[in-house]
Structure 1
Amino acid sequence: MEENKYLKDISDIKQLMNRSSRFISLSGWSGIFAGCYAIIGAAIAYYYLLPSGEFLLLQSHNFTQIVLLLAAVAIASIFTALVLTTRKAKRNNSAIWDHTTKRLLVNFLIPLLTGGMYILIKLNSQHYGLTAALMLIFYGLALVNASRYTIGNVKYLGYVEIILGLICAAFPGYGLWFWVFGFGLMHIVYGSVMLINEKN
């Protein structure tokens, strides 16, 4: 009996240490909203900025508008994630900004910003074909790299994004659809899984 209690105490201590070293306030709704924003943005790009059905890899006079649209999707996703995550953190009486959060952001931003700069270099060289693939790959790498500092299965989302990016690289003409699947549908699926886990 004493041994079982001792083992339970050790398990509780390990769980507390794990929770204190990982960011646990991510909201499932933030993933769902991010996916919806991505799908809406892609729909606007496809129906209004690419009226002839061109693919994103092709150079067009609407390319600047597409880049701005992508930026708007990213800003909306980040803002929504901050609002929902802050609300969840307050509800759980946990800190939103601490050393764990800083480590999470650093490990997430290093691959993401590196990929962003590389994509800009490729675009400046008039190489558009692998833009969607590179976005998926570097985003996936950022998720995997940051997964060490967050509770959940975000690394699996990262693996899926990387695989989708590699497949997209083999079929560059379908970059928009891979982008929708990776940034849109997969975020909705992942956010839904997070919500289910939160309720259990």
Structure 2
Amino acid sequence: MPSYSSPKRTVKFLNFEEYLCKVVNIQKAVPFALGISAVLILAGFYYATHDERYLFWQTVETVKFYLKDNNTGSIFVGTLFAQTNGELKRIILIGWVNITELDFGGALVGIPHGWRLISAETNYRDRNLTNISDWMDILVTEDPTSSVRYRIFVGPAGHGIPIQHPCGGGTGSVFVELVPEEDSSSLTLRLGVGSSFKVLEDGRKLLVLATTSKNVTIEFSEQQK
């Protein structure tokens, strides 16, 4: 089994929970269009508030993603940005999650070997557990046999999976910045959301995370490869 540790996160993301609470009724299913609108707003604020050195980054490709877990109703929606700055490359993920009260897992971002995590943040908040502020957990392994290097959990699984303390569901934005450790023409992320319980032979319940997942690939343009 690969061993994992938690790296220190370096950059604080923008605080949008107050805005999202006003426009999202987290007691109901959230329409796809609302999720897309929230992501576009987050992207606009992100580019508008960074200092001048980021103005040299050029977006050469974008890929949208949308996942909805039928078991819990949780949603993970967002956009990947492939950017270049001369010979430098990076991938930005800007997303939004709506986690229902039925979901004890939340969202997952799986990052492969060969890429380095620069920053990852969320402003996700739970309706019931209002005293908890950090709902993100990052596990990292250097074991080459592992399919991913980083696992980023957002939501209940991002706070130790508090099964004994029922979650009330919640919403929040997600920001991830990645750079290749060597020249790379593309990146494939494993994205997931949702959870379920598997009953073992001895009667114990095993929590299964990211029950709805898919690989999402983004490529740099031909002239940048």
TM range (shorter): 0.3 to 0.5
* TM-score, length-scaled by structure 1: 0.37
Larger radius of gyration: 1
